[in-house]
Amino acid sequence: MLKPATRRDSSRRVVSFWYDGRVVQRAGCFLTGAVRKGSRGHFPAGAAGKRWLGLLVEDVFLAILVGIDEAGYGPVLGPLAVCATVFRLPDAQGENCLWERLRASCSISPRHAARKVIVCDSKKLHKPGKGIGALERTALVVLAAAGQTPRTMRAFLDLVAPSLSTLLDEYPWYRAADPALPMDPATGDVMTRANALRRDLRENGVVPVGVFGEVLLEGQYNDLVSRTRNKSVALLGLVLRLICRTAASTHERTVRIHVDRLGGRSRYRSPLMTSLPSHELTIIEETAERSAYRLCNGSGTIEIAFVTKGDRNHFPIAQASIFAKYIREMLMRCFNDYWSREDAALRPTAGYYTDAQRWLVDAAPLIDRLGIDRSRLIRER
């Protein structure tokens, strides 16, 4: 149990931290080491306090916890988005359930949406035709809790997938699109929920590091699939890029990454070794439910597990699922808005196979009239 304590430094500023006889948290950092039980945290502030503890902040023993998931793997229209959410927390607590630790502000059940931030499988949070308010609420609250408050779609994308905005301009249906956020009136009060989440994160020693995204727009998707001749290989490539990006973004010696299993694949040794050639790889297990690997070099250890039902069992994967789905749904709304402006009678589509075939039949005369390149519009299967 972490206990609160406060003292004033030499400038009379209140310094708050928590201790349990082993760990002291102060100013968002954990200091581990020679803290005696009963000390009640009374040590000098600033550099003197660090010397008293015999530690430097850079030597702190923390772990990074990452979850990766995708949205839009199956559709015929619209983008494929893959996201990673990253948290920093004490190494000893790295495998603890974040739903339990953050239960004061978060829930896995959409039934608690009136009071808490819902972090669950995005397919449970978002239903076609119901609007994107539920997805948007969680995504914007999570960013706001970390101090990020994007006001438009492109500002949001610049935070998560910085190279995407330039690529959007290559597509008529995305080119002029930059709607204000929130897009859905049902999103509700973001900042009140963000304050509650920020407080819960702080009190439980969990630091949100960031959200990373890789998005393939329709033409890029087709180019990549034509080169690899396999869309699952294209998806794995995006996942591996996120693994490398998240691992490179931190300095902690331990990085634990959970990825929602990619289809029926159970062996990832070869692509992991290709992506992280400076690491020595050990196979922990390769089963129908879980494929786990340990990669080590002189800088630290990366533990990677591809798991089934990841968005049900791993908080970071569920959160990544929501961000990926939110990005796809934002862009699909821009897609439908563009085509509706060109033909008000054209009904919108979610982009999945059956409805996409209906939409393509309805839109065929308009596509021809506008001279749209179908290889930039329709994804290869």
pLDDT tens-digit series, residues 146-200: 999 999 999 999 999 999 999 999 999 999 999 999 999 999 999 999 999 999 9
Number of structural domains in the chain: 2
Residues 31 and 150 in one domain: no
Residues 46 and 91 in one domain: no
Q: Using the predicted structure, report yes or no on whether residue 324 has a pLDDT greater than 60.
A: yes
Question: What does the pLDDT look like over 274-302, one tens digit per residue?
Answer: 999 999 999 999 999 999 999 999 889 99
Mean pLDDT of 129-153: 95
Residue 356, in any domain of the structure: no
Residues 225 and 292 in one domain: yes
pLDDT given at position 5: 43
Q: Using the predicted structure, report yes or no on whether residue 11 has a pLDDT greater than 70.
A: no
pLDDT given at position 37: 34
Residues 39 and 154 in one domain: no
pLDDT given at position 360: 98
**Residue 59: other Cβ atoms inside 10 A:** 11
Percentage of residues in the chain with pLDDT exceeding 90?
72
Residue 334, in any domain of the structure: no
Give bridge partners of residue 25 from the DSSP assignment. Answer: 18, 30
Residues 225 and 159 in one domain: yes
pLDDT given at position 108: 95
Question: What does the pLDDT look like over 198-223, one tens digit per residue?
Answer: 999 999 999 999 999 999 999 999 99
pLDDT given at position 212: 98
Residues 146 and 21 in one domain: no
pLDDT given at position 268: 96
Q: Which of 321-359 are b and which e, b meaning 16 or more Cβ less than 10 Å from the residue's Cβ?
A: bbbbbbbbbbbbbbbbebbeeeeeeeeebbbeeebbeeb
In sequence order, what are the residues at sequence separation of 6 or more whose Cβ sits closer than 8 angstroms to the Cβ of residue 370? 172, 342
- What angle is formed at CA 47 by the lines to CA 41 and CA 48, rounded to 5 degrees? 60
pLDDT given at position 229: 84
Domain C-terminal end among 296, 327, 358: 327
232 compared with 129, residue with greater pLDDT: 232
pLDDT given at position 13: 33
Residue 309, in any domain of the structure: yes
Q: Using the predicted structure, report yes or no on whether residue 26 has a pLDDT greater than 50.
A: no
Residue 165, in any domain of the structure: yes
**Please, are residues 366 and 207 in contact by the beta-carbon 8 Å criterion?**
no
Residue 310's H or E segment, with its range, is helix 310-313
Which CATH number goes with the domain that contains 133? 3.30.420.10
Residues 83 and 217 in one domain: yes
Range of the domain at 25: 3-59
Residues 252 and 319 in one domain: yes
Domain C-terminal end among 59, 79, 106: 59
Residue 229, in any domain of the structure: yes
Residues 171 and 209 in one domain: yes
Q: Which of 41-50, 207-216, 353-362 has the lowest mean pLDDT?
A: 41-50
Residues 134 and 236 in one domain: yes
Q: Tokens in use for 271?
A: 């692509």
Residue 379, in any domain of the structure: no
Give the three-state DSSP class for 1: coil
Residues 31 and 109 in one domain: no
pLDDT given at position 250: 81
Residues 268 and 311 in one domain: yes
Question: What does the pLDDT look like over 72-84, one tens digit per residue?
Answer: 999 999 999 999 9
**Please, are residues 159 and 148 in contact by the beta-carbon 8 Å criterion?**
yes
pTM for this prediction: 0.84
Task: Please tell me the distance from the alpha carbon of residue 194 to that of residue 200, in angstroms, as a whole number.
Answer: 10
Residue 347, in any domain of the structure: no
Residue 254, in any domain of the structure: yes
pLDDT given at position 61: 59
Domain C-terminal end among 301, 327, 353: 327
